[in-house]
A and B are shown apart, each in its own frame.
Chain A
Amino acid sequence: MIRKGDRFDPLDVAKQTERMVCRNGARKYTAFYATGVYGGIATGYVVGCCLRCFFCWTDFSRDFPEAYGNYYTAEEACENIVRAARKWRVSKARISGGEPTLCRKHLLELLELVEEREEVKLFILETNGILFGADESYVRDIAGLKKVYVRVSLKAGEPEAFEARTGASREFFELPFRAVKALLDHNVKFHVAAMTDPRIMPAEERRRLIGRLAEIDEFLAANLEEEECDPYEGTLVRMQIYGLDPIEFFGGKSLGFT
């Protein structure tokens, strides 16, 4: 149980979470369906993350992984994702919701299976980069897979902000940047995203983050996807717990108040 104000080790939280959401190569998922993002994509929603960002849009399975979802083997997850792709006539797929790089064995098996399925042309792996940054061999494992495309989402441009927004100790701030470097070095297809919403990230921090990326590679910085915070139910509750007033943050009108 992570309490408000705790500063945790995200690698330790990853291990603890894996004990709840991974079992004999299977992983917990809450749902499989297609959504309109990326121009239409089949999605498997996984349970569990190693960060606790206050702006996170995911449902409460992130916070109570033991209470949500069902276990699916890699074969079952692959079938469900392909079924969703067929049903909605899309050729892209992803796993989202939680952190897909938890349960390494399951993910690698799933990605291998997807490689063989004609229905899926591109598989997008949306990650916070913590586990890729901690272990380069993980990046090497996915580097040879033709359909895999990675989207690394950065949460902050400086250590103090990383700690404040994610709950993870500032000493782990570097890990997502190491992941970016490793993905580049291993020639993986990827781009970088960051929560640069000006309501969350000050302009100077945004500049530092972009500068930091540019030091690794200017193209990555230019192609940075700048995320905005949206008023999902989970986000509103987390913001309140964090001490922010969602009505003030988003404006009453956007929350349906007139």
Chain B
Amino acid sequence: MGLRDAIRVLFKLCELEGEDVVLKSLCSAFGVEVPQELRELKDLPPRIALAIAYRDRNLRPLLREVASEFLREKIADPLAKQSRKEDNKKGGLNEVMCNIYDP
């Protein structure tokens, strides 16, 4: 997976769990490799890792571009968080999250 796709996936994963687990655990739970460019930030929560990466002049243009694409989805989904929460309750993610908290 290229960096662009990885960042896109990370934005989506952040909507599921962006603060309470660290990047490497979240990526591992979803079978996604932590991109080389973000390896130094792997022990931080993913949203924080993305925010810190955004200060890197080399990564900033790509992050901004992917953010712009992702934003359209985010705005178009008026009950995004709530519907995802409901989906999670139905199964799937609950189990994954349990594994993240208690590997």
Show the binding face of A for B, using Cβ within 8 Å: 36-39, 91-92, 122, 124, 149, 187, 189-191, 196-199, 203, 206-207, 210-211, 214, 218-219, 221-226, 228
CB-contacts of B13-68 with A (<8 A)? 14-15, 18-22, 25, 43-45, 47-48, 50-52, 54-55, 63-64, 66-68
CB distance from B3 to the nearest CB of A (A): 15
User: Most chain-A CB neighbours within 10 Å: which of B21, B43, B51?
Assistant: B51
* Chain A residues touching B, majority SS: mixed
Contact A226 B78 (CB under 8 A): no
Q: Which residue of B lies closest to A204 (CB)?
A: B78
Show the binding face of B for A, using Cβ within 8 Å: 11, 14-15, 18-22, 25, 43-45, 47-48, 50-52, 54-55, 63-64, 66-68, 70-71, 74-75, 78-82, 85, 101
Contact A221 B81 (CB under 8 A): no
Residues in chain A near residue B54, CB distance under 8 A: 219, 223
Contacts A38-B19, A39-B45, A225-B18 given; does A219 touch B67 at CB 8 Å = yes
* Chain B residues touching A, majority SS: helix
Contact B51 A189 (CB under 8 A): yes
Contact A207 B78 (CB under 8 A): yes
A-B contact count (CB 8 A): 86
Residues in chain A near residue B82, CB distance under 8 A: 197-199
Which one of B15, B45, B66, B74 contacts A38 once the chains associate, using CB atoms below 8 Å? Answer: B45
Report the separation of the CA atoms of residues A196 and B79 in the bound assembly, to the nearest whole angstrom: 9
Residues in chain B near residue A219, CB distance under 8 A: 54, 63-64, 67
Q: Which residue of B lies closest to A191 (CB)?
A: B51
21 contacts between A and B (CB under 8 A): A36-B101, A37-B19, A38-B48, A92-B44, A124-B48, A149-B48, A187-B55, A189-B48, A191-B51, A197-B81, A197-B82, A207-B75, A221-B67, A222-B66, A222-B68, A223-B67, A224-B74, A225-B47, A226-B81, A228-B81, A228-B85
